[in-house]
Structure 1
Amino acid sequence: MGDVRVTRTESGFVATNDRGAQVALGHGEGEFGAVELLQVAVGACNAMTVEPLTAQRGLRLPELSVTISAERSAPTLLGKVTVSYEIELPEGMPMAKFHEIAQRVHDRHCIVSRSLEAGTEVKLDLPHS
């Protein structure tokens, strides 16, 4: 996996990946906050993994979006994160099949959701004097 760099700017922060994509960070207009980025990561991982799994079966969803809500369990700790799908099924695809695929993505394929549930270690690499 590539690195992501977060850099302070004059108006806030910007995140840049190894491919040059950027996201404005902060609390102002047109910016994402840190918790919102976590929500984006969960939603993107789920949606971007469900989509090819349905499409490869010839069942491309005409509409697919997710809403990710997060609850706080303490002032500096998230509790439950919920992924809610809004979909339109293609003709001939039963809802049970979509449920099966989405559940499999959640249980086995979405690295972001799985990492959060497993409690992935985050360590600091602080500069030396």
Structure 2
Amino acid sequence: MTELWVQRTGPRRYTGHSSRGAQVLIGSEDVEGVFTPGELLKIALAACSGMSTDLPLSRRLGDDYEATVRVSGDADRENEVYPRIDEVLEVDLSALEPEALQRLLVVVERAVDRVCTVGRTLKAGTEVKLTIDADGA
């Protein structure tokens, strides 16, 4: 199983790590060159949706198709939640006949609903438990 962790690198700055060697810079909005945790949440959702659509789209459009998933959603700072996150999958489907297009749209939406773990988790809600491992405690 891949291990994940973040390490503090300065005031309001962290680096996220995976045991596979990946890194991501994390910080607050006033820090240049980093993602905020909320931005990472939205990027994770967009990436999951994109990856979930990869197989059905590549079957119909070929392996070299281009796609972009844009994601947005403002935080409700009073309650510290994102009440809504919107995604837009941008892909050129103009070469498809209307009937084939409609079938593909259904297949793509079903793929996201069935296999996008991040989206399914957000929609279902999940229990989060924090344990503090303090030296000397």
TM-score, normalised on structure 1?
0.86
25-34 vs 68-77, greater mean Cα deviation: 68-77
Counterparts of 1:1-129 in structure 2, within 5 Å, are 1-10=1-10, 12-26=13-27, 27=29, 28-55=31-58, 57-60=59-62, 62-75=65-78, 76-89=80-93, 91-92=95-96, 94-127=100-133, 129=137
The alpha carbon displacement at 1:90 in A equals: 6.9
Q: Which digits, 9 at most, give the CA deviation of each residue in 1:15-63, with x for residues without a partner?
A: 01110110011132211001000001000000012012222x2423722
Q: Distance in 2 between matches of 1:42 and 1:53?
A: 18
Q: Distance in 1 between matches of 2:121 and 2:105?
A: 21
Aligned amino acid, residue 20 of structure 1: G
Q: After TM superposition, which residue ranges in structure 1, 4 or more long, deviate above 4 angstroms?
A: none
Aligned amino acid, residue 124 of structure 1: L
Aligned amino acid, residue 9 of structure 1: T
From the CA coordinates, give the structure whose radius of gyration is larger.
2
Q: Distance in 2 between matches of 1:111 and 1:103?
A: 14
TM-score, normalised on structure 2?
0.82
- Of Structure 1 and Structure 2, the greater strand share is in 1
Conserved 8 A contact 1:63-1:87? yes
Q: Which digits, 9 at most, give the CA deviation of each residue in 1:62-82, with x for residues without a partner?
A: 220011111334531110111
Conserved 8 A contact 2:53-2:112? no
Conserved 8 A contact 1:59-1:90? no
Cα 1:18/1:100, change in 2 over 3 Å: same
Q: Distance in 1 between matches of 2:48 and 2:133?
A: 32
Q: Output the aligned Cα RMSD.
A: 2.1
Q: Distance in 1 between matches of 2:65 and 2:9?
A: 39
Question: Structure 2, unaligned stretches of length 5 or more?
Answer: none
Aligned amino acid, residue 35 of structure 1: G
